[in-house]
Amino acid sequence: MKVKEATKQYKYLDLITALFVTVLLVSNIVAVKIVSIGNFIVPGAVLVFPFAYIFGDILTEVYGYGKDRRVIWTGMICNLLMAGVFILVGALPSAPFWHNQNAYDAILGLTPRIVGASIIGYFVGEFVNSFVMAKMKLVTKGKMLWSRTIGSTLLGEFFDTLLFITIAFMGILPNSVLITLLITQYLFKVAIEVLLTPVTYWVVNFLKRAENEDYYDSKTNFNPFVLKNS
């Protein structure tokens, strides 16, 4: 009789997953506020959302593409659940004494177009990021972590930002404004990833020691729709 191999237990995978999902959900809420940073006008989410890519890099580098794939799907399901609850509660009749419907709609009111743009951008961007990270680790033989974190982010954030901006605002905002938003958000997101590279190094090295894991995706099925660990 074939004995089933025991699944390896990790100390911090659940924590990293929870932080990833929290960053994703918070980003979609604070995105409604447009902030001014110097001469740049950007959604508040650009200060938070890059951390989702940092956590994605950490997950792929330490635990492998298969584990990160499950976390990406977890984040997407939680995001859809949150959006659905916001829309449902917003559509319910207000109590006679409650007069804050306009405030609710302004902050938590979501349109299908915005939700769709967010989900598509997130899904493509995160999987591009994880795929590039895993493949570059094989090419570099686990060396030059900075090249993988920055290189994967350059591609992942590009597709994420491009898809979200175009799907959400094409035909609503002038093309010149769309291009400005795209470039500004992209540069901010990448800049945060680069600036936090030393922190990423520290977290990755800590987790590799604590978990006794440094996964290489040499035999991984990279199909994003196959929810296996490898």
Is 229 inside any structural domain? no
Is 128 inside any structural domain? yes
* Tokens of residue 49, six digits: 């959302």
6 pLDDT band, cuts 50/70/90, is low
Is 20 inside any structural domain? yes
Cβ contacts of residue 143 below 8 Å, gap of 6+?
A: none
Is 108 inside any structural domain? yes
Contact 130, 68 (CB under 8 A): yes
> Domain holding 146: CATH number?
1.10.1760
Mean pLDDT of 1-24: 80
pLDDT 10s digits, 82-95? 989 998 999 999 99
Is 4 inside any structural domain? no
% of the chain at pLDDT higher than 70: 96
- Is the predicted pLDDT of residue 2 greater than 70, yes or no? no
Is 69 inside any structural domain? yes
Contact 58, 98 (CB under 8 A): no
Closest CA to 162 of 121, 134, 209: 121
Domain extent for 98: 13-211
Is 137 inside any structural domain? yes
Contact 132, 156 (CB under 8 A): yes
pLDDT 10s digits, 30-58? 877 878 777 777 778 888 888 999 999 99
Q: How many domains does the chain have?
A: 1
Contact 79, 28 (CB under 8 A): yes
pTM metric for this prediction: 0.90
Is 2 inside any structural domain? no
pLDDT 10s digits, 112-161? 778 888 899 999 999 999 999 999 999 999 999 999 999 999 999 999 98
